[in-house]
């Protein structure tokens, strides 16, 4: 209620109508704000696809790096990324789910739980390059893992842990109290209820969170650069202690080369990365919808 214009009539529908023009203008502004990033992204994508699509062929996918752009390929980076992401998931998913289960199901609202919670939200906001520095000091040097896949995967695991923890907690929270009580009233222990009632129902959420986390890990270059991932690798990793390259590293390296041919290679690499990410996200959405249907929600 405005002070200048006190309502004479108690009825709300009488009186001066609110300004339609202002509302329309505001709606337009919002729409513009929503479309702008999409538009910018579309332009960028279009540019990349135009430059790089023609470069993608069997040779590109199956070749090691080379000094000549025409014979160079993404094999080492792509295989390195698969290793890296697989390892990252194998480390981060169990730890993240475990943390979430502890916080949601077991932790009393006390100091420890609050401390862990604050740390997790802080971790989520730390720039990824800082994780790289942490990984370099902790895993590469202090734990003498060297510039290995394992050091890279552990670093990325730390990076994506908050995503998995938050997604899992969200999923655990949606499991109705009535179902937990049903299990407990049947004489099950809390762990039995968590494992057999609560976690199965949280799987779609955990899965979505994990795939989002993996997508994040696939795209990260900065921490790996700091960590010392290689840019010129003419072998495939043979274990977790192997040195490695990764797709984003390869792309990053190509973009910094002067020859025009490498710019084309970079664009082609970006397309491969983008398609992989879109497929992962698509898979996440489809699995989640399927499972939610199965859970009757």
Partner 1 sequence: MPEAFSESACGPAPYRTMQPSDSMPDTVAAKLSVQELSAWYGEKQVLIRVSLDIPERQVTAIIGPSGCGKSTLIRCFNRMHELVPAAKHRGSIQLDGEDIYANGVDPVLIRRRIGMVFQKPNPFPMMSIRDNVLAGLRLTSTRRADTDAIVERALQQAALWSEVKDRLGEPGTGLSGGQQQRLCIARALAVEPDVLLMDEPCSALDPIATTRIEDLLTTLRERYTIIIVTHNMQQAARVSQKTAFLLQGELVEFTETDALFTKPKDKRTEDYVTGKFG
Q: Which residues bind partner 1 (CB under 8 A)?
A: 108-109, 176, 178-179, 181-189, 192-193, 196-197, 200-201, 294-297
How far is the C-alpha of 199 from the C-alpha of 265, rounded, in Å?
Answer: 44
Q: How far is the CB of 107 from partner 1 (least distance, A)?
A: 12
> Which is closer to partner 1, CB of 113 or CB of 130?
113
> Which is closer to partner 1, CB of 28 or CB of 200?
200
Neighbouring residues of 240: CB distance < 8 A, sequence distance ≥ 6: 87, 148, 149, 150, 153
64: left (phi over 0), alpha (psi -120 to 50) or beta: beta
Closest CA to 136 of 222, 76, 213, 216: 222
Angle, alpha carbons 64-67-72 (nearest 5°):
35
> Which is closer to partner 1, CB of 16 or CB of 297?
297
How far is the C-alpha of 64 from the C-alpha of 74, rounded, in Å?
Answer: 6
How far is the C-alpha of 136 from the C-alpha of 152, rounded, in Å?
Answer: 9
The phi and psi torsions of 104 (rounded to 5 degrees) equal: -80, -40
How far is the C-alpha of 31 from the C-alpha of 78, rounded, in Å?
Answer: 38
116-131 as b/e: b if 16+ CB within 10 A:
eeeebeebeeeebeeb
Tokens of 81: 């990324």
Specify whether the CB–CB gap between 254 and 269 falls below 8 A. yes
How far is the C-alpha of 83 from the C-alpha of 244, rounded, in Å?
Answer: 9
């Amino acid at each position: 209620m405005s002070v200048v214009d006190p309502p004479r009539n108690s009825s709300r529908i009488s009186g001066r109508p609110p300004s339609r023009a202002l509302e329309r203008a505001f709606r337009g502004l919002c729409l513009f704000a929503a479309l702008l990033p999409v538009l910018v992204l579309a332009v960028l994508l279009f540019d990349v696809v135009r430059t790089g699509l023609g470069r993608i062929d069997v040779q590109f996918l199956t070749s090691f790096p080379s000094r000549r752009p025409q014979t160079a390929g993404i094999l080492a980076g792509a295989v390195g990324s698969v290793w890296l992401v697989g390892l990252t998931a194998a480390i981060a998913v169990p730890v993240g789910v475990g943390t979430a289960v502890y916080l949601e199901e077991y932790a009393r609202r006390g100091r420890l739980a609050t401390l862990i919670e604050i740390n997790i939200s802080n971790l989520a906001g730390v720039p990824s390059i800082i994780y790289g520095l942490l990984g370099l000091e902790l895993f590469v040097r202090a734990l003498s893992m060297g510039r290995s896949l394992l050091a890279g995967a552990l670093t990325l695991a730390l990076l994506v842990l908050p995503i998995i923890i938050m997604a899992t907690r969200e999923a655990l929270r949606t499991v109705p109290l009535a179902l937990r009580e049903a299990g407990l009233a049947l004489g099950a222990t809390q762990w039995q209820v968590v494992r057999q009632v609560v976690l199965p129902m949280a799987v779609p959420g955990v899965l979505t969170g994990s795939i989002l986390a993996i997508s994040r890990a696939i795209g990260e270059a900065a921490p790996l650069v700091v960590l010392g991932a290689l840019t010129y690798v003419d072998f495939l990793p043979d274990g977790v202690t192997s040195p490695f390259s990764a797709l984003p590293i390869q792309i990053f390296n190509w973009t910094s080369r002067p020859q025009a041919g490498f710019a084309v290679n970079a664009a082609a690499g970006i397309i491969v990365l983008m398609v992989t990410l879109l497929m992962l996200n698509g898979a996440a959405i489809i699995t989640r919808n399927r499972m939610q249907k199965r859970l009757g929600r």
